[in-house]
Homo-oligomer: A and B are copies of this chain.
Amino acid sequence: MARAWTLTSRPNGMPAADNFALTDVALPPIEDGMIRVRNSWLSVDPYMRGRMNDTKSYVPPFAIGEPLQGGAVGEVVESRADGFAVGDHVVHMAGWRDEAVLPVAGVQKIPASDIPVQRYLGHLGMPGMTAWFGLLAVAEAKAGETVFVSAAAGAVGSAVVQIAKAKGMTVVGSAGGAAKVALVESLGADAAIDYKSDGSLVKKLMAAAPQGIDVYFDNVGGGHLDAALATARDGARFAMCGMIEGYNATDPVELRYLMRIVAARIRLRGFIVTDFQAQADEFQREMGALVKAGKIRSEETVHDGLKSTPEAFMALFSGGNSGKMLVRL
């Protein structure tokens, strides 16, 4: 028997504690090609909010009454699969629970090293890969260019800042509050904007990037997107990664600078990290080298215990994390 979080009802706007229930779930028998994993780290990510709606998207919605899913790191405690031994650490998608029986297709073994295993849910996992391909492939950011990234203290944003600096770009990051702004600066950003402080975000961004921006990495949408449109240089490219400001919103997004798309020939392109799955090896190799060279610092916000999972998830939408939000079991 395992313990798993299920979705009891679909959130309307902000998710609340009563949308979730912790329940007992029977584990299936372990067959050939399967492993049993005891989870040690669970990932909570903003994109999961979209799966809680009953709408068609790039991943199917979570079903009511069924266990939720998400990235997790665990230890193999039983194996009937070649290449997976008891004691191995693995990354998989059966999070939001303490234990799972899984076919090994879709399970990634973590190579033995002195890198903390939970990094494979952060800068060496999905958020890091999102940053890497969003910045370098989708936005085609190049050395010498000026990059603006929102939610720069978050899991994806903090990777964007550091990859951009490692590649010779000028970086402006935005975050909410003095502590996160200090974190963004400590990661090497050339300028950090506190979007929560008084004054217009457009003016703050223009002051931080007086020549304008070449690239915008959007994690937020809304007012950040509008400020990026306002300050975009001719031919700017926007990687549209997610819009945390809109995930729980019921009102439309208001944009004052949308027409600059035409005048400044701006290109916006949405992407999903899984579009780049075929290039995952390239990411692991190059990002792994940056991590080993000490060029990527990983901040984490850790909640303890399976019980705290919904709380950790909900805190994503009120700025409750610096760096990667994790649950430690």
Contact = CB atoms under 8 A, between A and B. Distances in A.
A242 B262 contact: yes
Contacts of A221: 258-259
A319 to B, nearest CB: 19
A242 to B, nearest CB: 6
A253 interface: yes
Nearest to A258: B253
A287 to B, nearest CB: 22
> Copy number in this complex?
2
9 contacts: A57-B263, A240-B262, A246-B258, A252-B258, A260-B270, A262-B270, A263-B272, A266-B270, A267-B270
A50 B271 contact: no
A243 interface: yes
Given A225-B258, A240-B261, 7 more contacts: A247-B259, A252-B255, A255-B255, A265-B272, A267-B269, A268-B268, A268-B269
Contacts of A241: 262
Contact of A258 (B243, B260, B264): B243
A54 interface: no
Interface string A34-70: 0000000000000000100000011000000000000
A256 B264 contact: no
Chain A interface size, as a band, is 20 to 34
A265 B270 contact: yes
A140 interface: no
A226 B252 CA distance: 10
Contacts of A260: 270
The 9 closest A-B pairs by CB, nearest first: A261-B270, A252-B254, A262-B270, A268-B268, A252-B256, A267-B269, A57-B263, A240-B261, A253-B258
Interface string A223-262: 0011000000000000011110011000011111011111
A265 B258 contact: no
A82 interface: no
A50 B272 CA distance: 35
Interface string A269-293: 1111001000000000000000000
Contacts of A58: 263-264
A270 B263 CA distance: 7
A70 B47 CA distance: 48
A268 B265 contact: no
Contacts of A270: 260-267
Contacts of A267: 267-270
Contacts of A262: 240-243, 270-272
A145 B177 CA distance: 47
A23 B126 CA distance: 65
A268 to B, nearest CB: 4
Contact of A246 (B50, B259, B265, B269): B259
A270 B255 CA distance: 16
Contacts of A252: 226, 254-256, 258
